[in-house]
Amino acid sequence: AQSVTQLGSHVSVSEGALVLLRCNYSSSVPPYLFWYVQYPNQGLQLLLKYTSAATLVKGINGFEAEFKKSETSFHLTKPSAHMSDAAEYFCAVTRFGNEKLTFGTGTRLTIIP
Amino acid sequence: GAGVSQTPSNKVTEKGKYVELRCDPISGHTALYWYRQSLGQGPEFLIYFQGTGAADDSGLPNDRFFAVRPEGSVSTLKIQRTERGDSAVYLCASSLSPGLPSSGANVLTFGAGSRLTVL
């Protein structure tokens, strides 16, 4: 079985500060990992994905994530937070040949002006 | 259409009633997924269609839940004898082909969801 754990259900950062959202995964096979963002009253939007190619993945809106097998982590970062980054972020995992994404419980990001 | 459309956006019903939730995927997307998101939780997989057939329905919680996609496009999630515990946001997503990300082109596009409240 595969799972992801998102540490911190709520994270607050000041505008312009580093954003770090944590995700650890559990998988007995090589995982495929994703970060999605959900703005209020909108659908989930893919930020980035890792599919066993480069371990540092760049996504939209200046976000990136690094796959670290030794730490079973896939943390999401952005160097400088913007007010528009306020949203809920979900980490998800699947594997080759499996259509089901397993999501974490989400992290709500608040940006302090 | 331009995106995944879900109707209704909000549905309030009474315990024991029957509910239908509709999903209109992006035109040409062959794969369609239903997820359920309860308050404070991440989305949970319910069922996946490839074309008209349900390829994986292992996430449906019990036999009160059923979904169809008769023409390989629009899908309807049906819930019989609703219970208060069914209250959640039901999310639909579609993709151009099976969601194998290794292809580089398979991305799930989600709708805004249907919020179901069972009183």
Helical spans, DSSP H, in A64-111:
none
Tokens of B19: 């509910």
User: Cβ of A43 and B111 within 8 Å?
Assistant: yes
pLDDT bin (cut points 50, 70, 90) of residue A54 is confident
Choose, out of A44, A98, A103, the residue to mutate when testing the contact with B (most B CBs < 10 Å).
A44
User: Looking at the complex, does the CB of residue B101 fall below 8 Å from at least one CB of chain A?
Assistant: yes
* Rounded CA separation A101/B36 (Å): 12
Q: How far is CA A71 from the centre of its chain?
A: 15
CA-based nearest residue to A47, from A105, A112, A91: A91
pLDDT in tens, B58-112: 999 999 999 999 999 999 999 999 999 999 999 999 987 665 555 544 578 899 9
Number of C-beta neighbours around residue B32 at 10 A: 29
User: Cβ of A103 and B44 within 8 Å?
Assistant: yes
Q: Residue A47 phi/psi, 5° resolution?
A: -90, -50
| Residue of A42, A97, A99 with shortest CB distance to B48 | A99
pLDDT in tens, B21-35: 999 999 988 889 999
